[in-house]
Amino acid sequence: DTAVSQTPKYLVTQMGNDKSIKCEQNLGHDTMYWYKQDSKKFLKIMFSYNNKELIINETVPNRFSPKSPDKAHLNLHINSLELGDSAVYFCASSPYGRGGTDTQYFGPGTRLTVL
């Protein structure tokens, strides 16, 4: 029944490793997003895909690469992890991606800790 799900919920890894976070939504939405929440709880958008097409790409290091195999899935791959990548990463989805009442629904978050 989960609308937007993410795996894993927790991820602890060493600096320099490569890791992926997966996101799936069963709401039939066209658009998916990745947000990063830092240690001060500040949330910032990273990427957005609409029907598998990248539509928002904020100033994010190119070590971060999103991939959307279909409109229900949006994965985030991070290469060469750094200490500063430690954060909570949220996936979200919305019906259309644009327009007045288009509301984003968030997944439970993935807490990434880089040691």
Partner 1 sequence: AQKITQTQPGMFVQEKEAVTLDCTYDTSDPSYGLFWYKQPSSGEMIFLIYQGSYDQQNATEGRYSLNFQKARKSANLVISASQLGDSAMYFCAMREGGGYNKLIFGAGTRLAVHP
Residues forming the site for partner 1 (CB under 8 A): 31, 35, 40-45, 48, 50, 55-56, 88, 90, 92, 94, 97-109, 111
- Say how far apart CA 99 and CA 27 lie, in whole Å: 18
Shortest CB 109 distance to partner 1, Å: 5
Shortest CB 81 distance to partner 1, Å: 21
Q: Report the residue number, 17 or 57, with the smaller CB distance to partner 1.
A: 57
- Say how far apart CA 47 and CA 98 lie, in whole Å: 14
* CB within 8 Å of 113: residues ≥ 6 apart: 10, 11, 12, 13, 86
Q: Report the residue number, 64 or 90, with the smaller CB distance to partner 1.
A: 90
